[in-house]
Amino acid sequence: MPACLHNVATDLSMLFAMMFVSPLTALRLHGAVLATAFAGVVVAHLALPSSVLAQERIYRCGNEYTNTLPPGNRSHCKPIEGGAVTVIPAPPKQVALAKPAEPAAEPRGRDSEARQILEAELRKTRSKRDELLEAYNHGEPEKLGSESRNHQKYLDRVAAMKSSLDRLEQDIVGINRELSRLPNR
Beta-ladder partners of 19: none
One-letter amino acid for residue 68 of the chain: T
* Residue 92 confidence (pLDDT): 84
* Residue 175 confidence (pLDDT): 95
In angstroms, rounded to a whole number, what is the distance separating the alpha carbons of residues 125 and 173? 11
* Three-state secondary-structure class, residue 175: helix
Spacing of C-alpha 95 from chain mean position: 22
pTM above 0.85, yes or no: no
* Residue 172 confidence (pLDDT): 96
Could you give the maximum distance between any two Cα atoms of the chain, in Å?
A: 125
Task: Express each pLDDT in 150-169 by its tens digit.
Answer: 999 999 999 999 999 999 99
CA distances from 180 to 112, 151, 152, 161, 175 (A): 13, 44, 42, 29, 9
Alpha helices, DSSP H only, in 21-104?
23-47, 50-53
* Residue 145 confidence (pLDDT): 87
* Three-state secondary-structure class, residue 117: helix
In angstroms, rounded to a whole number, what is the distance separating the alpha carbons of residues 16 and 13? 5
In angstroms, rounded to a whole number, what is the distance separating the alpha carbons of residues 185 and 179? 11
* Residue 31 confidence (pLDDT): 55
Positions in the chain whose pLDDT score sits under 70: 1-55, 73-74, 83-85, 87, 96-106, 185
